Structure 1
């Protein structure tokens, strides 16, 4: 049954960046399936989609994430820039138990920003630094940190991460129609002319 609410949808390209074995694929799996799996190393990149939605009084908002999970291994590093084009959101992931992966997160950000600087995408991209594997810490991460704590294994913070990103997407990116207005199809415009074919 229709709620009568206006439905607005945005398609958002999201890439995950970071060193090998920080849990990027496990994070995507947890978000898209709700389950935890230990994944083999990604070769090149893996693609999947997932829609996040929420409602207010008059509007249902939907963000369809088109997710590119890139490989972190050094031998695939040169391939990463090919996935940067038209990126809306970048999650730069590190392992909270491996300080070196946190330090290297900055190099991923710099590479992404350098690429974006030469395109028209630089102004609109959202970059979040994500610390995975918080379930392995002896105590919760301290407040005031410059990264978002999550655990792909326990699920802690994962949905909240993607929902918060979805709600940061500018309203100008959403398209939709008012369900109270019937859709009208102009049959004349879809007909082929006498000598042509519409197939």
Structure 2
């Protein structure tokens, strides 16, 4: 079976996903904080600091050369009205939910191209349709969708891997209803 990188592996969706993947026979590497508590290989890194990902991933370069899927289900959703969400709330939300996702796609694309693998973005329905006081979370969903679309449309040579965007049952944005493939630019 394949090798799958999972962010957000220690959260509710991530824990369930890791268990299902292991049960199905996949080799799983968890990426994020507190991954040592899982019974899978882990790369300990704070996704709020996307600039640290390249070094953390480089330490696992041999292992990651065979990645067949990246599942980004890490995310934070601070509850604050736009008037109350200061710069640090926005920075941290965008760093974890968007910038780290983009950096992980960049770092894993060579392996994903070789394996014709998958990039999966897991989004929450409130981020797709909007919920009062979730201003930073709602805005970041547009960024995640943008990263997805950029990668799906070639992303500077992203061909060979496939992209999937998933959201909850109430998702009404692009990730809620589409699957796109990463192809070389025309």
Whose relative contact order is higher, 1 or 2, with alpha carbons under 8 Å and at least 6 apart?
Answer: 1
Instruction: Kindly indicate which of the two structures has a greater share of residues assigned to helix.
Output: 2
Larger Cα Rg: Structure 1 or Structure 2?
A: 1
Instruction: Kindly indicate which of the two structures has a greater share of residues assigned to strand.
Output: 1
